[in-house]
Amino acid sequence: MKYLGHRVLASAVIAAGLWMWTPAMQAQYDRPATAPAPKGTSTKKKQKKPVEQSPAATGQGASSSVPGSNAAAPDAGAAGQAGAGQAEPAQAGPELGGPDANSGAIAIPRMVKPETAPPPPPPVNRFRNPPGLSHLSLNVSAPLVNVDVGVLLEKSHQFVPNLQKDNFEVFENGVPQKITHFEQVEAPITAVLLLEFAQTNYDFIYDMKNAAYTFANEMQPHDEVAVVTYAMHTNILTDFTDSKQRVMDALNSMVIPTWDETDMFDALYTTLDRLARVKGRKYIILVSSGLNSFSKLTLDQVLRKIRQTPDVTIFSISTGHYARIMAEGGGFGPFGGMSSMQEITFLQGDNELRTFARMTGGEYFAPRFETEMPDIFRQINEAIRNKYELSYTPTDQKKDGTYRHIQVRLVNDEGQPLVIVDKKHHRPLKYEVIAKQGYKAPLPVQ
C-alpha cells in the first residue's frame, strides 16, 4: 500500500506541472495577429521567459494544497495571455533610417534626387521664315574680274577725269559684260623699281640711275616702294618702305657693277612671284636695256607668269637709246659701230619691254635724252594714281583655266564711240584707253 501511495502522489505532481505549463506555452506560440507597424518604426515585442521550477518547489506546492495550485494556474495563464496580447508601443527610428537602440527592422531611406537647374530657354530667332518655308542655305562662288582702266590723252598723256559708268563698255572674248562696280580713285601706290645694273655701258647705267632717282623724287606719303637690281643674280636693295630716304640710300649704294650678264627673264619672273603674295594693285617700274643674255627661263615662261599673276601693271623704260643712236653713226661698238645683229638684238629687247607693258595695261617709254625723264614719270604718276576701277562677273562661269581676252571701249549716251573735245580750241582730242588685255580663268581646284 505504501508503494501504491507513492505512485499516486507522483502522478498527481506530474499532472499539476503539465496543467501549469500549458497556458504559458500557448501564449508564447499562439499570439494574436497585430497590425503591421508603419515604416521607419521598430515592432519588436518583448517575450517573457518562463520560470523554471525545481522539483522541490513543485512538491511543496503539490503537497500543501491541490486547489491552491489550480487557483494560481489561471492567474499565471491570464498574465501570460495578457503579456502576449498587448504589443509594446512602436518606437520611431532615426531620421535617415537604420537600426535604433533595439535590434529591429531596418528602414531604407528614399532616394532623394538632386535638384537640377531648369534648361535654358531656346534662343530667340531674330530672322523668321515665312510659314511653311524651311531653312535654306545658299553658297555662291562667282568669280569677280577687276579691271583698272586709264584714259590718257595721246599728245599730253594727261588723265581724263569725270567719266561716268555709262561711258564704259567691257567685252570678254567679244561678249558684252555687265559692269557691277565703277569708281574713279586716286590712291597711294605699291611699286617695285626693277633696275638693270650690269657692266654693259656707262650710258645704260646713267640712264637707269637717272630714271630711278626721278621716280624716287615723285614718291608721295603712304607710297610703298621696293628697290631690286639684277645682273647675273637678283638683289633686293630695300624691301617695301614708305621712306623716301631709305629708297635714296638704296639707290646710292649702286656704285660699281660686278657682272656683265643681264638675266632679265629670271629677274622679272622672280619679282612677279614675290608680288603674287602681296594684296592689292601692284606696279613694276622696269628700267632695262631689254637685253637677256643668261636667263634660265624662256620668254614664253615669263609671258605665262604675267598672265597668271593678278593685279600687276608693268611700266617699261628702255635705256641706252642715245648710245644706240650714236652707234649708228660709227661711234659705238668694238668695230666702231653697231652691227646688224646687235641692232636686231636691241630691237627684240624693245619689243619684249613693250609686250610686258601692253599685256598688263602699262606703258612703254624709250627716252633718248635726259630731260625726258621728268615728263615720263609725271605721266606714270598720272596713270597709276588716277584710274577707273571696273568690276564685272563674267557670263562664262566655266573654271577651265583658259586665257580670256578683255576689251574696254568708251561710248556716249547713244552707244557711239566717245569723242573728247578741247574746250579751248573746240577740236577733238585723241585719247588712249589703257587696260589689261585679259586674265586666266580659275581652275576647279587651285
* DSSP-assigned letter for residue 337: S
How far is Cα 66 from Cα 61, in angstroms, rounded to an integer? 8
Q: Helix or strand or coil: residue 185?
A: strand
> Any idea where the domains of the chain sit in the sequence?
145-440
Q: What is the pLDDT of residues 395-412, one digit of tens each?
A: 998 888 899 999 999 999
With a CB cutoff of 8 Å and minimum separation 6, the contacts of 347 are none
- pTM for the model stands at 0.59
Confidence class for position 247, pLDDT limits 50, 70, 90: very high
Q: What is the pLDDT of residues 118-148, one digit of tens each?
A: 888 777 666 666 677 666 665 556 678 999 8
How far is Cα 164 from Cα 151, in angstroms, rounded to an integer? 12
Q: Which of 102-106, 125-129, 273-277 has the lowest mean pLDDT?
A: 102-106
Q: Helix or strand or coil: residue 99?
A: coil
* Rounded mean pLDDT, 28-51: 47
How far is Cα 128 from Cα 125, in angstroms, rounded to an integer? 7
Axis crossing angle, helix 299-308 with helix 264-275, rounded to the nearest 10: 20
Burial classification of residue 257, based on how many CB atoms lie within 10 Å of its CB (0-12 exposed, 13-18 middle, 19 or more buried) = middle
How far is Cα 358 from Cα 314, in angstroms, rounded to an integer? 8
Which CATH number is 145-440 given?
3.40.50.410
With a CB cutoff of 8 Å and minimum separation 6, the contacts of 3 are none
